């Protein structure tokens, strides 16, 4: 039985297969009560995330105080399954919880199923919800199969929510259908600052009808409202289906908190917000993000850290960066030396990234970024009337200044260390593009040429294309964007990217795709030898 047969033919087995509880104490298990009305429910499905050769995170959410149990096997028949006792799911985490499965066999298909045990009556179990993931090979081993993954970003923004009559967030189904090893979400996993109305009138006079909950009907301010944004996205059947079959790697950007947030963010004039304290909103948003993201927790020295290294075998290393948490305030971005004000990723993160790139033995090193390098992303005006900038580009085509100084140092050190085959993937700007960075055409030439690919959005408004900055010699090789501002998903300008790495040739092929899965642009990159 293959994994698709597993998903579409597995019956819900409740206590009959997962013979819970032979729990922590040695006593005869009572008869299990499994009537549907009495069982804990997993209405928001299950997710897996942060896959490595020997580990993956499994996530779910209950509707009541419960204990998470699961079992996993390398076959859909669950022969010789391993049972794992998970955490208690309580209201302090909005009844979410996760298990970091370790000691898994590298390179294998993993079939798992999750069961919840009602803490009010431990004889009551939920139905078993099945899931699947595919692990990468060991980094030091031989590449025995091709690698495929997808990436995109920007989910349910600008008031475009779940329109069930239209098919819901159906771009997620397109990504599932290509059978990727994992999906990289490059940020804006929710739009906490974008209210969703019941109806939106389209240009042709027809109506876009959204599913609406209380939490998404206004900007998020309370912890429950931030949590409600994640619950909302998981109401979509396409999102849940893909999450159960395909591991995810999440990062975040600004809309998980509020648009363009940094130390200079001021909500004083925004009448939508009664809570003007941005650091408090960041704290609530951060808690909600880490509760709902299928992300591996780091040590308590920085337990909410988002940037991380996820080895994906001998062909691929994933470096997930965080361009939001350590930045200085959004300013005119024209500082002539690196300071706390000009920080973008920050010195510790840059040092971590360079160290990881230098140590990597994999053929390809992908830097998963939440913002593009040389596209103009503005953030209004400062008190002196100067343009203020959200990303690293600053509208000045000369030598690096402001946040560009940090990017320049990173690129220079990559060249000096002779690190080959570095590719950048990102989202944020709500259109798709392929960018080539050519030192021969740059104001700063001390770096090796490289590619950056952009994709998105996922069921959000379409925008672009953005103006470009010439500092790093970026050449727009391909781009596709809508002709209208905040284009609805119905116009088809929704995009994701697909990456395929051939196990024999080691070549990486990047394909930019649209809402219906059509290939728009393809680039095959031959690996450079070290």
Whole-number pLDDT of residue 38: 86
Q: Is the four-CA dihedral 475, 479, 484, 486 of positive or negative sign?
A: negative
Q: How far apart are the C-alpha atoms of 474 and 469, rounded to whole Å? A: 7
Per-residue pLDDT of 285-328, as tens digits, reads: 999 999 999 999 998 889 999 999 999 999 999 999 999 999 99
Per-residue pLDDT of 187-228, as tens digits, reads: 999 999 999 999 999 999 999 999 999 999 999 999 999 999
**Whether 41 and 189 share a structural domain:** no
- pTM for the model stands at 0.94
Whole-number pLDDT of residue 141: 77
492 is a domain residue: yes
Alpha carbon of 323 to those of 154, 386, 453: distances in Å?
Answer: 15, 22, 17
Look up the CATH number of the domain holding residue 110. Answer: 2.60.40.380
**Whether 75 and 156 share a structural domain:** no
Look up the CATH number of the domain holding residue 198. Answer: 3.60.21.70
**Whether 27 and 110 share a structural domain:** yes
The 3-state secondary structure of 229-266, one letter per residue:
HHHHHCCCHHHHHHHHHCCEEECCCCCCCCCCCCCCCC
**Whether 99 and 153 share a structural domain:** no
Domain coverage including residue 17:
3-134
389 is a domain residue: yes
From 87, 105, 134, give the residue that closes a domain: 134
Alpha carbon of 399 to those of 318, 331, 445, 470: distances in Å?
Answer: 29, 18, 10, 9
**Whether 217 and 346 share a structural domain:** yes
**Whether 433 and 330 share a structural domain:** yes
Peptide bond before 514: cis, by omega within 30 degrees of 0?
A: no
Query: What is the secondary structure of 38-75 as a DSSP string?
Result: GS---TT-EEEEEEETTEEEEEEE-SSSEEEEEEEESS
Q: How far apart are the C-alpha atoms of 477 and 521, rounded to whole Å? A: 10
- Structural contact between residues 450 and 423, judged by C-beta atoms closer than 8 angstroms: yes
Whole-number pLDDT of residue 89: 98
From 134, 161, 187, give the residue that closes a domain: 134
Which has the closest alpha carbon to 181: 141, 216, 234, 136? 136
- Structural contact between residues 373 and 440, judged by C-beta atoms closer than 8 angstroms: no
Q: Average pLDDT for residues 137-163, to the nearest whole number? A: 93
Please state whether 282 falls in left (phi above 0), alpha (psi between -120 and 50) or beta. Answer: alpha
140 is a domain residue: no
Token pair 């070549």: residue: 507
Alpha helices in 63-207 (DSSP H): 171-177
Contacts of residue 278, defined as CB under 8 A and 6 or more positions apart, other chains included, come to 257, 258, 261, 265, 266, 267
Contacts of residue 262, defined as CB under 8 A and 6 or more positions apart, other chains included, come to 327, 328, 329, 330, 390
The 3-state secondary structure of 406-462, one letter per residue:
HHHHHHHHHHHCCCCCEEEEECCCCCEEEEEECHHHCCCCCCCCEEEEECCCECCCE
**Whether 412 and 441 share a structural domain:** yes
Q: How far apart are the C-alpha atoms of 129 and 12, rounded to whole Å? A: 7
Percentage of the chain lying above the pLDDT 70 cut:
93
User: Is 90 exceeded by the pLDDT of residue 144?
Assistant: no
Q: How far apart are the C-alpha atoms of 292 and 192, rounded to whole Å? A: 14
Q: How far apart are the C-alpha atoms of 160 and 489, rounded to whole Å? A: 8
205 is a domain residue: yes
Query: What is the secondary structure of 288-328 as a DSSP string?
Result: HHHHHS------GGGTT---EEEE-STTEEEEE--SSTT--
Contacts of residue 320, defined as CB under 8 A and 6 or more positions apart, other chains included, come to 184, 249, 251, 306, 307, 308, 309, 310, 368
- Structural contact between residues 135 and 108, judged by C-beta atoms closer than 8 angstroms: yes
**Whether 111 and 22 share a structural domain:** yes
Burial of 114 (0-12, 13-18, 19+ CB in 10 A): buried
530 is a domain residue: no
How many residues does the structure list for the chain? 530
Nearest 5°: the CA angle 14, 17, 20 is 75
Question: How many domains are contained in the chain?
Answer: 2
139 is a domain residue: no
**Whether 126 and 269 share a structural domain:** no
**Whether 61 and 185 share a structural domain:** no
Q: How far apart are the C-alpha atoms of 123 and 108, rounded to whole Å? A: 33
Confidence of residue 29 (pLDDT cuts 50, 70, 90): very low
Consecutive H or E run containing 224? helix 223-233
**Whether 158 and 222 share a structural domain:** yes
- Structural contact between residues 430 and 126, judged by C-beta atoms closer than 8 angstroms: no
Whole-number pLDDT of residue 37: 62
Per-residue pLDDT of 332-370, as tens digits, reads: 999 999 999 999 999 999 999 999 999 999 999 999 999
Contacts of residue 167, defined as CB under 8 A and 6 or more positions apart, other chains included, come to 173, 238
Token pair 């970026």: residue: 474
- Structural contact between residues 402 and 377, judged by C-beta atoms closer than 8 angstroms: no
9 is a domain residue: yes
User: Is 80 exceeded by the pLDDT of residue 468?
Assistant: yes
Q: Average pLDDT for residues 405-413, to the nearest whole number? A: 98
Percentage of the chain lying above the pLDDT 90 cut:
90
From 103, 134, 165, give the residue that closes a domain: 134
- Structural contact between residues 52 and 311, judged by C-beta atoms closer than 8 angstroms: yes
**Whether 115 and 152 share a structural domain:** no
Average pLDDT score over the chain: 93
Q: What is the end-to-end Cα distance of the chain in Å, rounded?
A: 42
Alpha carbon of 386 to those of 136, 264, 338, 378: distances in Å?
Answer: 48, 14, 20, 11
User: Is 70 exceeded by the pLDDT of residue 66?
Assistant: yes
142 is a domain residue: no
Alpha carbon of 511 to those of 185, 243, 250: distances in Å?
Answer: 16, 22, 20
Per-residue pLDDT of 217-262, as tens digits, reads: 999 999 999 999 999 999 999 999 999 999 999 999 999 999 999 9
Burial of 465 (0-12, 13-18, 19+ CB in 10 A): middle
């Amino acid at each position: 039985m293959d994994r698709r047969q597993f998903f579409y033919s597995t019956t819900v087995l409740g206590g009959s297969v997962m013979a819970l509880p032979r729990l922590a104490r040695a006593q005869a298990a009572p008869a299990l009560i499994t009537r549907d009305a009495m069982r804990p429910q997993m209405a928001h499905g299950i997710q897996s995330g942060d896959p490595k050769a020997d580990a993956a995170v499994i996530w779910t959410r209950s509707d009541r105080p419960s204990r998470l149990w699961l079992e996993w096997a390398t076959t859909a028949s669950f022969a010789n399954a391993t049972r794992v006792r998970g955490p208690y799911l309580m209201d302090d985490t909005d009844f979410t919880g996760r298990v970091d499965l370790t000691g898994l066999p590298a390179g294998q298909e993993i079939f798992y199923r999750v069961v919840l045990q009602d803490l009010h009556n431990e004889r009551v179990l939920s139905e078993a919800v099945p899931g699947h993931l595919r692990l990468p090979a060991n980094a030091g081993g031989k590449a025995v199969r091709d690698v495929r993954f997808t990436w995109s970003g920007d989910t349910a923004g600008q008031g475009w929510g779940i329109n069930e009559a239209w098919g819901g967030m159906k771009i997620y189904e397109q990504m599932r259908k290509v059978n990727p090893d994992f999906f990289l979400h490059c940020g804006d996993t929710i739009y906490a600052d974008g209210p969703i109305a019941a109806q939106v009138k389209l240009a042709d006079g027809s109506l876009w009808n959204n599913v609406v909950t209380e939490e998404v009907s206004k900007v998020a301010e309370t912890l429950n409202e931030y949590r409600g944004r994640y619950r909302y996205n998981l109401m979509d059947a396409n999102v849940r289906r893909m999450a159960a079959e395909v591991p995810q790697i999440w990062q975040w950007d600004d809309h998980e908190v509020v648009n363009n947030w940094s130390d200079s963010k001021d909500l004083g004039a925004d009448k939508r917000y009664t809570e003007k304290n941005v650091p408090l909103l960041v704290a609530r948003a951060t808690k909600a993000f880490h509760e709902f993201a299928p992300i591996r927790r780091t040590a308590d020295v920085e337990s909410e850290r988002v940037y991380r290294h996820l080895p994906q075998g001998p062909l691929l290393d994933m470096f997930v960066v965080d361009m939001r948490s350590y930045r200085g305030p959004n300013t005119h971005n024209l500082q002539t030396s690196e300071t706390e004000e000009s920080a973008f990723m920050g010195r510790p993160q840059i040092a971590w990234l360079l160290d990881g790139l230098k140590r990597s033995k994999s053929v390809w090193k992908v830097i998963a970024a939440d913002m593009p390098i040389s596209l103009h992303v503005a953030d209004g005006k400062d008190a002196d009337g100067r343009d203020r900038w959200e990303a690293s580009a600053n509208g000045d085509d000369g030598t690096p200044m402001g946040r560009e100084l940090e990017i320049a140092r990173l690129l220079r050190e990559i060249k000096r260390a002779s690190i080959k085959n570095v590719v950048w993937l990102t989202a944020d700007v709500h259109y798709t593009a392929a960018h080539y960075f050519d030192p021969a055409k740059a104001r700063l030439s001390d770096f090796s040429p490289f590619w950056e690919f952009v994709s998105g959005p996922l069921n959000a408004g379409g925008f672009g294309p953005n103006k470009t900055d010439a500092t790093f010699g970026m050449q727009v090789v391909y781009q596709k964007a809508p002709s209208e501002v905040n284009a609805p998903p119905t116009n088809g300008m929704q995009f994701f990217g697909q990456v395929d790495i051939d196990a024999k040739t080691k070549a990486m092929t990047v394909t930019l795709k649209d809402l219906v899965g059509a290939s728009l642009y393809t680039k095959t990159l031959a690996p450079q030898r070290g």
